[in-house]
Amino acid sequence: MKILVLFTLFLFNAIFCDGREYKRDVAMPFAAAAYSTNPNLCLSKVAKLLNPTNEPSYNITVYRQYTVANCSSFNDTCFGYIAISSFTKEIIIGLRGTSDFDQLLTQGWNSNEMVPFISGGKVSKYFFNGFNGIWMDRGMRNDFYALKNRFPNYLFIFVGHSIGGAMASLMAATVISTGVLTEDKITLFTFGQPRIGDKTFADAFNAMEIKTFRIVHNRDIIPHLPPLNDSLYYHHRQEVWYNNDMGLNDEYTVCSYENGEDPACSDSINATTLNINDHKYYFGREFTQYGITGCPDLVTMKETDLNNLKVAKKRSKHFLAQ
């Protein structure tokens, strides 16, 4: 059994040998799971991917779910979950806001009212209310504290698509600025995240040194709202831009570490060519339906990851033969 566990760990480290920086086959399903009333359907697929030897003690399971009715200006529902990954020793926090992106595009930016935020600067009142409804009103904060004390060596992954990404960013900033966690304990993945606060907030966020991957699909319009030049809003780092269809072997650009508004990345796109379709689709999958249907198939790993897995298997055979 001990050898089997070591073998599984070896394969896991080989598959994701660049660390946790870019696991599209893990972070996206984690975020998509928040669109489902049963996130475990997606989480079980991730567990299967990360457990190639079918080690029975490994699982990813939802600890609790949180729902806030009428959390937005057009009476939509916000949702979040906390899940525990026993094998990778991680706690996952997945969040979502509205799933009606066309309505978000036409109505969601009518009010740019901002409120002070604990880490510094100001943020959208709309996004803050969604975050606060789950974090405070529905008790996620208390559960978060309890799990932190119960699993002191676990890492924390915050994920979200669209407004869910905005709320995930606010949550990550909150636990760092209040001293609940240190930055080395957190990784943040967002997909199609809108601008959520002013330049002061963005600078304060960047100063926390949170490992952040703000993923943008090509001409996705939502990351460009509220408009940069017509408002006080400014992105925090660090954009990861796919200037393509996000196919299996498509390349991406890791944008400026110092500046969340890198003119060489998605800010270089002509505003008239931005669209909502690129917001709905990431890695070739319609985000909400992918989550609702339980992540029926995972995005295939990059060719480099597959090659790493083959090398790992060869090395592991040698290891087991010793």
Over residues 163-174, the mean pLDDT reads 97
More confident residue, 6 or 184: 184
Token pair 């979950």 is found at 81
Q: Write out the H or E segment, with its range, that includes residue 254.
A: strand 253-254
Mark out the alpha helices in the chain (DSSP H runs).
2-15, 24-32, 40-50, 101-107, 125-132, 140-150, 163-177, 199-207, 277-280, 287-292, 303-321
CB atoms within 10 A of CB 33: 30
Q: What is the pLDDT of residue 15?
A: 44
Q: Where are the domains of the chain?
A: 2-321
Are 237 and 206 in contact by the 8 Å Cβ rule? The answer is: yes
Provide the 8-state DSSP code for 220: B
Greatest CA separation for the chain:
66
CA-derived radius of gyration, the chain: 19
Q: What is the pLDDT of residue 276?
A: 93
Q: What is the pLDDT of residue 103?
A: 67
Give the chain's end-to-end CA distance (angstroms, integer).
16
How high does pLDDT run on average in the chain?
Answer: 84
Q: How confident is the model at residue 314 (pLDDT cuts 50, 70, 90)?
A: very low
Over residues 218-233, the mean pLDDT reads 91
CA atoms of 201 and 65, how far apart (whole Å): 29
Given a cut of 90, whether residue 194 has pLDDT beyond it is: yes
Superfamily designation of domain 2-321:
Alpha/Beta hydrolase fold, catalytic domain (3.40.50.1820)
Q: Which two tokens stand for residue 218?
A: 């090509």
Q: Which pLDDT tens digit goes with each residue over 64-91? A: 999 998 776 656 789 999 999 988 899 9
